[in-house]
Chains A and B, each alone.
Chain A
Amino acid sequence: MLAIVIATLIKMLVMLGFAIALAAVLTWMERRQSAMMQDRIGPERAYLLPPKPGQTLGRIRLWGLIHPLADSLKLATKEDFIPPKAHRTLYAIAPIFALAPVLMVFAVIPFGPPLLLDQLGAVLPRDPARLAELVAGSQAAGKFHYLQIAHLDIGILFVFAITSLSVYGATLAGWASFNAYGMLGGMRAAAQMFSYEITMGLAVMGAFLVYGTLEPNAVVEAQIQGHWGVLTQPLGFLLFFFAAIAETKRAPFDLPEGESEIVGYFVEYSGARFMIFYLAEFIEIVFAACLVTTLYFGGWHFPGLSSLALPHWLMVLVGMGVFMAKVFVLCFLQLAIRWSVPRMRYDQLMKLGWKGLLPASIINVVLTAAWILGEQAKVLPAWF
């Protein structure tokens, strides 16, 4: 029992440490990357050591990587303003409602290949029968660990159940701050997230038909045995990716909080509470990238890597590295989309969601199911 608790704590440390650190870096990366895309320089002046006398630029700037630190210090020391007529309890709870579900869903993301603690130094056999033997042996000895905080059979369903909770954060924040703009923003957020969750779920359905499982580890295994989801489900991937961007409330779908002109649900928030909303948004980006990696980009798997005869512990580390690299690239892609595409109008957003993405995802499910049926009846050739 204690071993399980310790193992889970270590996994949480790795996974959440990675997610939160990457989210902090993303706050800087978004500004620096957008600057580079627009021929500017971006933030790079925050420093650790003060400038030498006669100079204006401080020392140890690390290309601006000090900025997340400086920003969080600034926000943490700012006044925590609560509007006089706001609902104090709900106003205080809303940021937690926004952050907690986002952190919770990381529980089911497998961030590396299963770990066999008693085979750390050995080179694992590639023969499935012998591998299963070894896995069964270490499972019996209690030395088998999925690199996943919680090994749930309904993994992806858990994700959908929890992400729908994060609507509460946005809506409560808008509602409780006694501000018309905030409330409208909260309503926009709620409507948008409900609309796109349906597309998200239906887009993933096609992938489940291909993999035949809901458990994230098994999903990755299925992709290792077959092909990456992005090849077997290209349309499903696109739909899911768009819906995921809409779920993270980022441009071109950033209507709930379009800070440049239509102010959003956290107008009244300042200081540390605002920081929590801001961080939650960036953690959502990381999570969307994690989920897309797991479902459509083969998780920790990279073609050709498994043919290397490396000791098991090194393979696990390489797998984690591959997973994190994929997540990073997908985060980069999301930021690039955010800085390339103009925001949609709200009716366009709803039209795209209900009249565009939703029918497309239903067609995707039907086509996938029909093809798989045809394959099983030997009427249609295999997709790959």
Chain B
Amino acid sequence: MAKVVTFRRGLWEQLYIPELIRGMSVTLRHFFVNTFGSKEIVTVRYPEEKRVYPERFRGVHRLMLREDGSVRCVACMMCSTACPANCIHIEAGQREDSFEKYPVRFDIDELVCVVCGMCVEACPCDAIRMDSGIHMPPVERRYEALLRKDDLTARGGQNISVQGGAGPDWRERYAPLGELRQVYDPKKRYNETIKGS
């Protein structure tokens, strides 16, 4: 329910000077508090300071890696199918060390991307992620915004999950390792992703 604020201008307001003093007491209080007292300044000095992004902030894509450093993606095309903007282009090849496929090409056009995160939802093996914590940097030419497999894997790291799943007995096998659930700590994440990059 909207709150109705009514204002009747009486003689006191018409006199102007008392209301002027009242208004200036507000602005001057802010001035003195910010200049000499505890600062209430909300500005972020951008290149030196950066805001801590929310937990589920969707930044530039990255492709995660296996233990041996090869890309986790199995070229199943789920992400490019799910993508509403059709910005993911994958060409599949056959892995030599296993029966799985791998992406020969994995291109994402960040200018077309609508940053919806559906590719991340669709990925069955946690290969594509948007948790890099950085914005797409501005580019001079359009083709520079077309990220290739190298660009995407360069930002990637190793998952804590096991490729292909840990199997039905994961509870028994991983219980000794302690708490598997990751607890979100914005400060730690800020240090790892934003300052570190």
Which listed residue (A37, A57, A341) contacts B31, Cβ 8 A?
A: A37
Mark B4-40 against chain A: 1 for CB-CB distance below 8 A, else 0. 0000000000000100100110111011001100001
A337, B28: Cα distance in complex, Å: 10
Count residues of chain A with CB under 8 A from any CB of chain B: 15
Interface contact A337-B24, CB-CB below 8 Å = yes
Task: Decide yes or no: A39 and B48 within 8 Å by CB, A337-B24, A339-B27 being known contacts.
Answer: no
Which listed residue (B27, B40, B42, B48) contacts A340, Cβ 8 A?
A: B27
Which residues of the partner chain A approach B35 to less than 8 Å between Cβ atoms? 36
Task: Decide yes or no: A40 and B43 within 8 Å by CB, A33-B31, A336-B31 being known contacts.
Answer: yes
A43 to chain B, nearest CB (A): 12
A337, B27: Cα distance in complex, Å: 9
Task: Decide yes or no: A57 and B24 within 8 Å by CB, A39-B42, A238-B17 being known contacts.
Answer: no
Which listed residue (A37, A40, A57) contacts B48, Cβ 8 A?
A: A57
Which listed residue (B17, B20, B23, B30) contacts A39, Cβ 8 A?
A: B30
Interface contact A38-B30, CB-CB below 8 Å = yes
A339, B26: Cα distance in complex, Å: 11
Which residues of the partner chain A approach B26 to less than 8 Å between Cβ atoms? 340
Identity of the chain B residue whose Cβ is nearest the Cβ of A57 in the assembled complex: B48
Interface contact A340-B23, CB-CB below 8 Å = yes
Interface contact A341-B23, CB-CB below 8 Å = yes
A225 at the binding interface (Cβ < 8 Å):
no
Which residues of the partner chain B approach A337 to less than 8 Å between Cβ atoms? 20, 24
A223, B146: Cα distance in complex, Å: 76
A131 at the binding interface (Cβ < 8 Å):
no
A317 at the binding interface (Cβ < 8 Å):
no
A193, B20: Cα distance in complex, Å: 22
B16 to chain A, nearest CB (A): 8
B129 to chain A, nearest CB (A): 29
Which residues of the partner chain A approach B41 to less than 8 Å between Cβ atoms? 39-41
Which residues of the partner chain A approach B34 to less than 8 Å between Cβ atoms? 36-37, 39
Which listed residue (B27, B40, B43, B47) contacts A336, Cβ 8 A?
A: B27
A334, B54: Cα distance in complex, Å: 42
A33, B30: Cα distance in complex, Å: 10
Interface contact A41-B43, CB-CB below 8 Å = yes
A-B contact pairs, 23 of them (CB 8 A): A36-B30, A36-B35, A37-B27, A37-B28, A37-B34, A38-B30, A39-B34, A39-B40, A40-B41, A40-B43, A41-B41, A41-B43, A41-B45, A56-B47, A56-B48, A336-B31, A337-B20, A337-B24, A339-B27, A340-B23, A340-B24, A340-B26, A341-B24
Binding site for B on A (CB under 8 A): 33, 36-41, 56-57, 238, 336-337, 339-341
A sample of 18 more A-B contacts (CB under 8 A), given A36-B34, A37-B31, A40-B42, is A33-B31, A36-B30, A37-B27, A37-B34, A39-B34, A39-B41, A40-B41, A57-B47, A57-B48, A238-B17, A336-B24, A336-B28, A336-B31, A339-B27, A340-B23, A340-B27, A341-B20, A341-B24
Binding site for A on B (CB under 8 A): 17, 20, 23-24, 26-28, 30-31, 34-35, 40-43, 45, 47-48
Shortest 9 CB-CB contacts between residues of A and residues of B: A56-B47, A340-B27, A36-B34, A41-B43, A37-B27, A37-B31, A340-B24, A36-B31, A340-B23
